[in-house]
């Protein structure tokens, strides 16, 4: 069986048709389809079309508002709070990011938070939107399931609360950081379990604090935060900035969207946009970032290290590859998607046939 590959247009169109068939207005379905396909294109495959089936489950269960009134609830010169009215997170955060970019253009920096939002895909998607405007994007979110106890604790009250940063460059690939505040994202644990592999020490611990290596027993333990208590602190701060500050869910209020399809998640996110042209000449800034990138890449390497990567370079390379050859989808995923297509009475996903 040849590998199944899909182009961005195919991914986007399939997702949009599916969402439209479920009741999303055409424009909104196109927007979400484009953003989800973007996630696959940049290699964030845990946050792209793989999410369509769980999103569909929630939509069909009535857990998402298909016609939300996404509006600005609070506003000052350099900030806003957006009420997502329980719409798709992608729609909420796209609007939030566009507003932040617009405000940053005059104020120099802007911060827009969301409440009553939902899962919006990979963190870097929104941080990267600032790049087209030669601006810096910073993104923070409350994860949609708790996998992390406070340091020394047993109750999972925190999520992988991710941070993303996107910084424009001159000729180099933009610097794009997209990281969970845990050593491994939960999706990586699930992937190890699917492949029948053990996890390396340092990803998870059990309830006695001992290393947990078997990913099929992930329910018996917790993810480890990066840098131990530091990552716990970082996850908490990100959660307060993206959740509590916005009146969104945090701590025990977080709904596990893997297990609950109907309760409103009240997801909180935040996007900050900085306009470097407020600090000085924009081209000089971008050239200076390039110089720094080249300096880091050119550093002497440890034995066995073939290349020093900058944050964002691997996803930049993946996007180029995906544009040329399409995105490979696992057969099990293709089957799930085509089952959904049949249920929704839309055309199945077509392979590029490469």
Site for a copy of itself in 274-303 (CB under 8 A): 274-276, 278-280, 285, 288-289, 291-292, 295-297, 299-303
- In the sheet with 109-117, reading across from the earlier edge strand, the strands are 71-76, 79-83, 109-117, 267-274, 136-141, 163-167, 175-179
Q: Which is nearer to a copy of itself, 60 or 179 (CB)?
A: 179
Q: Provide, rounded to whole angstroms, the least separation between the CB of residue 72 and a copy of itself.
A: 12
Give the C-alpha separation, 147 to 218, whole Å: 10
List the interface residues with a copy of itself, window 191-220 (CB under 8 A).
207-209
CA neighbor of 314 nearest in space, from 174, 211, 106? 174
User: Which region, judged by CB under 8 A, interacts with a copy of itself, from 35-43, 59-67, 107-115, 116-124?
Assistant: 107-115
305 binds a copy of itself (CB under 8 A): yes
Residue from 145, 191, 226, 328 that binds a copy of itself (CB under 8 A)?
226
107 sits near a copy of itself (criterion: CB under 8 A): yes
Among 27, 155, 220, 339, binds a copy of itself (CB under 8 A): 155
Closer CB to a copy of itself, 37 or 212, in the complex: 212
CB count within 10 Å of CB 234 equals 18
- Reference 205, options 179, 184, 178; nearest CA is 184
* DSSP structure class, residue 203: S
User: Of 219 and 345, which has the nearer Cβ to a copy of itself?
Assistant: 219
Tell me the C-alpha distance between 237 and 215, whole Å: 28
Q: Is residue 163 a contact point for a copy of itself (CB under 8 A)?
A: yes
Report the residue number, 68 or 149, with the smaller CB distance to a copy of itself: 149
CB contact at 8 A, 311 and 176: yes
């Amino acid at each position: 069986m040849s590998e199944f590959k899909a182009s961005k247009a195919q991914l986007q169109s399939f997702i949009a048709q599916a969402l439209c068939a479920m009741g999303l207005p055409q424009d909104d379905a196109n927007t979400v389809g484009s953003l989800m396909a973007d996630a696959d294109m940049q290699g964030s495959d845990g946050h792209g079309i793989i999410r369509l089936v769980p999103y569909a489950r929630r939509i069909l269960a009535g857990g998402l508002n298909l016609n939300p009134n996404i509006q600005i609830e609070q506003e000052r010169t350099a900030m806003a709070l957006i009420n997502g009215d329980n719409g798709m997170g992608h729609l909420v955060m796209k609007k939030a990011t566009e507003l932040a970019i617009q405000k940053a253009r005059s104020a120099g920096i802007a911060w827009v938070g969301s409440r009553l939002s939902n899962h919006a895909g990979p963190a870097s998607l929104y941080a990267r939107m600032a790049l087209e405007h030669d601006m810096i994007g910073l993104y923070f979110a409350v994860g949609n399931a708790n996998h992390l106890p406070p340091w020394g604790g047993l109750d999972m009250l925190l999520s992988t609360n991710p941070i993303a940063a996107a910084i424009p460059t001159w000729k180099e690939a933009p610097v794009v950081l997209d990281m969970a505040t845990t050593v491994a994202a939960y999706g990586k644990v699930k992937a190890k379990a699917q492949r029948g592999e053990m996890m390396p020490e340092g990803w998870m611990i059990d309830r006695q604090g001992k290393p947990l290596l078997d990913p099929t027993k992930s329910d018996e333990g917790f993810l480890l935060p990066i840098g131990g208590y530091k990552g716990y602190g970082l996850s908490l701060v990100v959660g307060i900035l993206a959740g509590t500050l916005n009146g969104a869910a945090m701590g025990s209020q977080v709904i596990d969207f893997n297990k609950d399809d109907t309760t409103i998640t009240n997801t909180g996110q935040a996007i900050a946009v900085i306009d470097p042209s407020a600090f000085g000449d924009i081209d000089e800034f971008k050239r200076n970032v390039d110089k720094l990138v080249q300096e880091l890449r050119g550093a002497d390497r440890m034995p066995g290290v073939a290349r020093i990567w900058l944050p964002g370079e691997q996803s930049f390379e993946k996007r180029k590859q995906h544009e040329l050859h399409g995105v490979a989808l696992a057969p099990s995923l293709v089957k799930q998607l085509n089952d959904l297509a049949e249920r929704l009475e839309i055309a199945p996903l077509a392979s590029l046939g490469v």
